[in-house]
Structure 1
Amino acid sequence: MIQVPAALIMLSRIFKGAIRYSPIEPQNPKPDLLGKVSVVVPTLNEAQRISPLLAGLTRQTYEVKEIIVVDSNSKDGTPDLVKAAGAGDPRFKLITDDPLPSDWVGRPWALHNGFLHSSETSEWFLGMDADTQPSPKLVSSLVQTAITHGYDLVSLSPKFILKYPGECWLQPALLMTLLYRFESAGVDTQAAQRVMANGQCYLCRRSVLTSVGGYTSAKSSFCDDVTLARNIASAGFKVGFLDGAKVLKVRMYEGALQTWQEWGRSLDLKDASSRAQIWGDLWLLTSVQGLPLPIVLSYFIFKVPFDASFSFVLLLLILNIFLLFVRFGMLFAIAASYELSQAIGAGLFWLSPLADPLAVVRILLSAVNTPREWRGRKYTVNK
């Protein structure tokens, strides 16, 4: 009774993937886009992973007017790496954001400071995270795609770089919690409160960002990218979330433990969702992702007999075998979103459905807890 309606909802979302926009392709720059984009990168102790991003940004073409790195007093040499990149590319600007106000989260505060310092003559604002690795034609491709489809805000799902066995097993299971709750990248969502976004690569018309007060409407959100995107969609602007695996890679976390701790605590999206939506999503995830494996295993462990009085057991078993079949099939759909060529234990990717119950538990834990620390900053409980 609880699984059937959840399965129908999940299948309706998966089927929409058949009509989604194709992954964006690298596109050559156009002269009429000269100096149209301001890139802003928030940083806090990113020395271990920012170099590929800095190298990738120096290879961006003439659409990029400026690259503003907003540093939050890093202690690991991050500013020195930015200065070194700037020595060979005058588009780089390094600023330090003001002290963090009590009602702001660090990431939206840094991005808001970057927005305030960006050129008013830029037509587009592009927020990028330090763990991203852009292709040389990322910006030109992204801007042209936004113009072609009439997006006021568009963000990209990347190709995830995995390296270690634990993350090859856990990370795809956590990603699947998003795919089951929301439409695939490339499907335009009509309801503002179901919009998805990825702040790792987040392009917005400057005029639109100005009209909503920059990042102020997402200032206290730990998932500021989704919160801001939904606020912008609610204001009547067109928001898109596209597959960017051909133009953008990301190395998010080192190992399964860091993936569990860092990514897992924001995937509930509670700062961008109503309480009813949060618990509705948890019902769906539990029904179609968390329960199938335990139910099927329980049947074979306890050897429940089949007779007339247990016909419902057979139906339950068939339903959950079907859900597992769909889940394993989804691996082929998401395989293009992963870079596994250098991964140790890459084959564990194909066993990631076995981590599904754990992934659902992680979303539940995140939904009932408020982060107290993020990227080394301490926050009060009422944040």
Structure 2
Amino acid sequence: MEEVALLLLLVQLPATAILLSRLLQAPGRQPPLQTRSPTPDLLGRVSVIVPTLNEAARISPCLEGLSRQGYEVREIIIVDSRSQDGTVDRVKAMQTHDPRFRVLTDDPLPSGWVGRPWALHTGFLHSSPDSEWILGIDADTQPQPGLVASLIQTAQQGGYDLISLAPQFILKELGEFWLQPALLITLIYRFGAAGSAADGADRVMANGQCFLCRRSLLTQLDGYTSARRSFCDDVTLARNAARSGAKVGFLDGANLLKVRMYEGMKETWQEWGRSLDLKDACSTPQKWGDLGFLIAVQGLPLLVTLGIAVYLILGGAATLPIRLALGLNGFLVLIRFALQWAIASSYDFTQARSAWTFWLALFADPLAVYRIFLSSLRTPTQWRGRQYQPLSASPSE
């Protein structure tokens, strides 16, 4: 047991130092964005693009939220990939109230492209050249009034070329309230809280659910071409932009954007879990290094703490390495409890039926890290109802 404790200390001590260096940036991070009113100089600055594929059941709040944005939005382009469920009919109904909406049907998916970046690329190519900004919005989001004006003014004041937002998540069921926060923590451990400065282009984080980019930067990057093969195209594109010298921000948008991503624990595990490793946006050493880091600081602490406690209760020798390992892992568990409280504002509890399980998400941490491991081993062949041949691409492509 003493040898195991020494091995744990050897691995976990440097990982804990890295974790603390990231978390200690939180007090200096940019505050959450707030609602802002548009000003006359913003007139017609933004083209909004919404990629859709069979979104009829959940797109209405997105369309209604976009219709409440001000005159800074020039056009709202819905790029539909031949939906069969009435998605287009819902958009056309909205057109009768707001002429800024228009529907495009993208061309058949070319070889080597994933559906989402292809739809966004199509929308970019068909957007007005007079729009200074391109805003990608997912169909499962609920934009709040003042979202777009806040984004543009924040970008102008901060000198950003690209901004994406961390939303407020709408959860409902017992299982998803237990699992989803543990999956979210894997991102915070690796990249810090939203609003924190990234440690280089390869550590940039992004969220394509709300992704604002200067048209000039997208033109420089040839639209979404550099992320065409990526199942995490948002992070891939943001990192490519950062490598080109662009100023990229990932900020807290919980006050301005809500999202109902998945229905229940099973769908959360399958759909979100398969891309959280971000393998399409990083090198192989970075992917496995991040996984090892997560195992050390998130997957093991609760198990080690409980295991050593049982060992000591059963009469095991409390040697110095064992006491140190217990103290270190207990400290990591305390950090995790504190983070659970800190991320509570990232969740909308108003529709919850089993919100109490949110506070038990710590016990899902080993499962969340295991899901990252599984995703790291596999290349997706199915996404949003589409089948793909195995794709491969370097993260710098």
Corresponding position of 2:247: 238
Counterpart CA distance in 1 for 2:350 and 2:74 is 35
Corresponding position of 1:199: 208
Kindly report structure 1 stretches of 4+ aligned residues shifted beyond 6 Å. Answer: none
Counterpart CA distance in 1 for 2:240 and 2:253 is 23
Report how many residues are paired.
Answer: 382
Counterpart CA distance in 2 for 1:102 and 1:111 is 16
1:276 aligns with 2:285: yes
Corresponding position of 1:146: 155
Corresponding position of 2:375: 366
TM-score, normalised to structure 1, is 0.98
Task: Give a deviation string over 1:345-364, Cα, whole Å, max 9, x none.
Answer: 10111110100000000000
Structure 2 stretches of 5 or more lacking a match?
1-9, 393-397
1:169 aligns with 2:178: yes
The answer to whether the 8 A contact 1:170-1:256 is kept is: yes
Corresponding position of 2:4: none
Counterpart code for 1:142: L
Corresponding position of 2:347: 338
Counterpart CA distance in 1 for 2:247 and 2:390 is 34
- Where do 1:229-378 residues align within 5 Å? 229-302=238-311, 303=313, 305=315, 307=317, 310-378=319-387
Please give the secondary structure, in 2, of the residue aligned with 1:249. strand
Counterpart code for 1:117: H
Corresponding position of 2:86: 77
Corresponding position of 1:22: 31
The answer to whether the 8 A contact 1:133-1:250 is kept is: yes
Counterpart code for 1:350: W
Counterpart code for 2:141: T
The answer to whether the 8 A contact 1:167-1:255 is kept is: yes
Counterpart CA distance in 2 for 1:142 and 1:119 is 19
Counterpart CA distance in 1 for 2:297 and 2:122 is 42
Q: How far is 1:341 from its partner?
A: 2.0
The answer to whether the 8 A contact 2:140-2:259 is kept is: yes
Counterpart CA distance in 1 for 2:325 and 2:270 is 34
Counterpart CA distance in 1 for 2:67 and 2:34 is 20
- Where do 1:47-58 residues align within 5 Å? 47-58=56-67
Please give the secondary structure, in 2, of the residue aligned with 1:2. helix
Counterpart CA distance in 1 for 2:38 and 2:129 is 22
The answer to whether the 8 A contact 1:47-1:77 is kept is: yes
Counterpart code for 2:302: L
CA RMSD, 1 decimal: 1.0
The answer to whether the 8 A contact 2:112-2:391 is kept is: no
Task: Give a deviation string over 1:197-216, Cα, whole Å, max 9, x none.
Answer: 00000000001100110000
Counterpart CA distance in 2 for 1:360 and 1:137 is 36
The answer to whether the 8 A contact 1:13-1:180 is kept is: yes
The answer to whether the 8 A contact 1:306-1:314 is kept is: no
Q: How far is 1:87 from its partner?
A: 1.1
1:102 pairs, out of 104, 111, 115, with 111
Q: How far is 1:306 from its partner?
A: 5.4
Counterpart code for 2:373: L
Counterpart code for 1:293: L
Counterpart code for 1:203: L
Task: Give a deviation string over 1:64-103, Cα, whole Å, max 9, x none.
Answer: 0000000000001100001001111100010000000110
Counterpart CA distance in 2 for 1:189 and 1:369 is 27
Q: How far is 1:190 from its partner?
A: 4.1
Q: How far is 1:183 from its partner?
A: 2.1
Task: Give a deviation string over 1:123-163, Cα, whole Å, max 9, x none.
Answer: 00000000100111100011101111000000000000111
Q: How far is 1:311 from its partner?
A: 2.2
Counterpart code for 1:187: S
Counterpart CA distance in 2 for 1:206 and 1:304 is 65
Counterpart CA distance in 2 for 1:232 and 1:220 is 16
Counterpart CA distance in 1 for 2:142 and 2:248 is 23
The answer to whether the 8 A contact 2:229-2:391 is kept is: no
Task: Give a deviation string over 1:264-290, Cα, whole Å, max 9, x none.
Answer: 001000000001111110111000000
The answer to whether the 8 A contact 1:50-1:131 is kept is: yes
Structure 1 stretches of 5 or more lacking a match?
none
Corresponding position of 1:158: 167
Provide the identity percentage. 62
